[in-house]
Amino acid sequence: MSVEHRRGTSAVTVLGADGVPLADTDVTVEQKRHAFAFGNIGFDFIPLANAETDGEGRSSAFGAASVEGLAELSELWFDVFNTATLPFYWRGFEPVEGSPDTDRLLTAARWFADRGVTVKGHPLTWHTLAPEWLTERPLDEIEKLQRERIRREVSNFAGVIDTWDAINETVIMPVFTAERNGISRLARSIGRIPMVRLAFEEARQTNPAATLILNDFDLSSAYECLIEGVLEAGIHVDAIGLQTHMHQGYWGEEEMLAMVDRFARYRLPLHLTETTLVSGHLMPPEIIDLNDYQIPSWPSTPEGEARQADEIERHYRSLVGHPAVQAINYWGLTDDGAWLGAPGGLVRSDGTPKPSYDVLKALVKEEWWVPPTVVRTDAQGQLTVTGFFGDYELSAHGRTARIELTPDSDTGRAQLG
C-alpha cells in the first residue's frame, strides 16, 4: 500500500530573527519527529530512568531487561521510537494497598517525555494482574477502588502521560476464569459496557485532554459487537486498540488489513497497541492462551531473524499504508526479559540489533524520514518542505525554527530565533 497519504508539502516563508523574510538563503531542513506513533514498551528503562543499579525494582511479566547495558539499549530505542508504553498493572503498581509506585513511574515517564517521547500508560482497568488484595472485597468497594485508582493515576501523571489504555480486554473480562480476581467479578456483575463507561468517564473527567483507548486482543466479531454497544451507549472513545501478538506466526498483509478494515468502519483512529513477531520457532497453533506456552529456552535463530525482518517490513509498510492506523506499538525492544521468554525483540539478549531492527530503522528514519537537507529560499524567502507528517527544524546562520507538517499545513511561516 502507498504511504503517500502520510506525506505533505508546505510552502514555508522563512523569517530571520528580525521578522524579515530570508531571501535567497541556504536553509537546512531536518525532520525531528514523526506524527505517526512508532511506539514500543518502555518498561525496561524504568530502572535506568530511576538510576537504579540493582535489579530490585525490576518489573515483572513483560519487558524487564537486565540493568546492565540499559544505557546502550536506550540509544537503540530512541533511534527508532517516539512513543513509550509504561506499565500500570495494578498488582505491580500498588502491591500494598495505599502504596502506589507513583514516584518511580513518574520519574520514568518524565525521562521519556524529556527526550521528546509521547508516553502512554497501560492499562487503567484490567482483570489480569488486578491486586490480590482486591479479589474478595464487596463489589461496590471494588468499583469504588477501581474508580479512585483511575482518578489517582490520571491525575498524578497528567501533563506527562496524556494517553491511556482506559480498559484492557473487556470482551473476556466477565468470563475470564484463569484466575479469580476482583475486576472480573465486577464486570460479570455490572456488565461490559458499564465497565467501559466507568473507565472512560473517570479518566475523561480527570484529564479532559487525554487520549483514551479501548484495547483488546479479541479481534473477532465479539470486539465489533462490544465497540458498537459502547458507541451506541454514547461513550467517547478516542482510539480503538488492537493487540497483535503474533507468536504463532505473522498473519500476512491480507488478513491483517482485512481485520483493520473491519475496525476502520467505526471511523475512529486505530492503534496497533501490542505487536510481536518472533525471530525463533513459532508457538504451536493449538495454544489458545499464549501464557500457557512456557518453555525453558526459546532461542532467536538466523533463519528466524531473517523471517522476522521480512515480516517487520511487510507489517509496518502495510499498516502505515492504511489511513485509519495512527499508531503501531511494538511489544519489547530486546529479547532479554521479554514476555514469555519469546525472541520477539528487535535486539538480541546480548544487546546486538537483529536484522528486524535495521529494517525498521531504515523505514522510520531513512525511507520515511527527511535527513538534514539544504534548501535555498526564493526571492520572497519561501522554500518547500515535503515529507512525512511531523516536526521539522529549519536552521540558518546558527538560528533555528520548528514547523509542523500536517494534512492542513499547505503554507506556513517560520521565524528563526
Query: Quick check: 86 and 42 in contact, CB under 8 A?
Result: yes
By CB atoms closer than 10 A (0-12, 13-18, 19+), residue 52 is middle
Q: Please, which residue, 161 or 226, has the CB nearer to a second copy?
A: 226
Nearer Cβ to a second copy (230/320): 230
The mark string for 252-281 relative to a second copy (x by CB under 8 A, - otherwise) is: ----------x--x----------------
Name 159's Cβ contacts closer than 8 Å, sequence gap at least 6: none
- The torsion of the CA quartet 335, 338, 339, 344, rounded to 10 degrees, works out to -20
Looking at the Cβ atoms of 229 and 341, the one nearer to a second copy is 229
Nearest to 84 by CA among 273, 235, 290: 273
Stretch of 27-35, 71-79, 169-177, 337-345 lying at the interface with a second copy (CB under 8 A): 169-177
Asked if 5 and 354 touch (Cβ cutoff 8 Å), the reply is no
- Which of residues 30, 218, 310, 393 is near a second copy by CB under 8 A? 218
Nearest CB to a second copy, comparing residues 193 and 362:
193
Q: How far apart are CA 378 and CA 358, in angstroms?
A: 38
Q: Which stretch binds a second copy (CB under 8 A): 31-39, 166-174, 319-327, 403-411?
A: 166-174
| Angle, CA 257 vertex, CA 199 and CA 284 arms, to 5° | 85
* In contact, 24 and 378? CB cutoff 8 Å: yes
- The nearest distance, CB 128 to a second copy, in angstroms, is 16
Q: How far is the CB of 231 from a second copy (least distance, A)?
A: 8
Residues 305-364 contacting a second copy, CB under 8 A? none
Closer residue to a second copy, CB minimum distance, 104 or 188: 188
Site string for a second copy, 172-201 (x = CB under 8 A): x-xx------------x--xxx--------
Nearer to a second copy, 171 or 328 (CB): 171
Among 225, 282, 287, 295, binds a second copy (CB under 8 A): 225
Closer residue to a second copy (CB): 233 or 287: 233
Given the DSSP bridges, would you call strands 161-168 and 390-396 parallel, antiparallel or unpaired?
Answer: unpaired
Which of residues 57 and 191 has its CB atom nearest to a second copy in the complex?
A: 191
Please report whether residue 49 would count as binding a second copy according to CB under 8 A.
Answer: no
- Does 167 sit near a second copy (CB under 8 A)? no
Smallest separation (angstroms) from a second copy to the CB of 193 = 5
Beta strands in 158-269 (DSSP E): 161-168, 211-216, 239-246
Sign of the torsion angle spanned by Cα atoms 381, 385, 389, 395 = negative
Residue 167: Cβ-neighbour burial (10 angstroms; 0-12, 13-18, 19+): buried
How far apart, in whole angstroms, are the C-alpha atoms of residue 334 and residue 297?
15
With CB under 8 A as the contact rule, which of the stretches 39-47, 158-166, 224-232, 282-290 interacts with a second copy?
224-232
Burial of 153 (0-12, 13-18, 19+ CB in 10 A): buried
User: How would DSSP label each residue in 3-21?
Assistant: -GGGEEEEEEEEE-TTS-B
Cβ at position 229, least distance to a second copy in Å: 2
Q: Using CB under 8 A, which residues numbered 65 to 104 contact a second copy?
A: none
Select the span of 220-228, 321-329, 372-380, 404-412 touching a second copy (CB under 8 A).
220-228
Backbone φ and ψ of 405, nearest 5°: -95, 115
- Total residues in contact with a second copy, by rule CB under 8 A: 23
Q: Which residues in the 226-245 window bind a second copy by CB under 8 A?
A: 226, 228-230, 232-233
Q: What's at 133, amino acid-wise?
A: W
State in angstroms the smallest separation of the CB of 312 from a second copy.
29
For residues 403 and 71, give the distance between their C-alpha atoms in angstroms, rounded to a whole number.
30
- Residue 222 in the binding site for a second copy (CB under 8 A): yes
Task: Work out how close the CB of 187 gets to a second copy at its nearest, in angstroms, rounded to a whole number.
Answer: 10
Tell me: does residue 221 bind a second copy (CB under 8 A). Answer: yes
User: Which residues touch 75 (CB under 8 Å, ≥6 apart)?
Assistant: none
Q: Which is nearer to a second copy, 191 or 321 (CB)?
A: 191
Q: Which among 101, 102, 108 is positioned nearest to 42, based on CA atoms?
A: 108
**Cα(371)–Cα(30) distance, rounded to whole angstroms?**
5
Binding interface with a second copy (CB under 8 A): 171-172, 174-175, 188, 191-193, 218, 220-226, 228-230, 232-233, 262, 265
